[in-house]
Amino acid sequence: MPNNDILLEVSHVSKQFPVKKRKLHAVSDVSLTLSRGELLGIVGESGLLICGECGCNYRRITRSSGEIVWRCANRVEHGKLYCQESPTISEQKVKDELCDALKLADYDEAMIKDHIEHVVVGRDGSLEIEIRQQTIAQILSW
């Protein structure tokens, strides 16, 4: 007999995103039950910028000069032995290219989060921007 107090129940959910020749594991084998009156909070890294060399997220770094840049988390944590060819990217470059991809005149963080799936940073500093599928049709009509 089903329990009417259960609002959500998932079993063994996994989700991966293809990043170049690797897979980025967003969720692996998650099971949960959410009953009436319970709250569920999910916390995680934004994961917008992804290193094309190792598949790790990029981290936002503020240099002593005040300049804000993004660098592969693997390289930040382990030094130059990892991701030797992953470039440091200026925040302004990231913002400019995201605005261009979404045809925005000004940077809008909420729009970016709603419409960009992820951005793969290439070894040459190029940004491969993946726009959410439902957004592509909207952009074409803008």
Give tens-digit pLDDT for 101-123. Answer: 988 899 888 888 888 888 999 99
Q: Where are the domains of the chain?
A: 1-39, 45-141
CB 13 within 8 A of CB 31: yes
| pTM, 2 dp | 0.62
CB 51 within 8 A of CB 78: no
Q: Which two tokens stand for residue 89?
A: 């990217």
Give tens-digit pLDDT for 30-88. Answer: 888 888 888 665 544 457 898 888 888 898 899 989 899 999 988 888 887 778 888 99
Q: Which two tokens stand for residue 121?
A: 């940073």
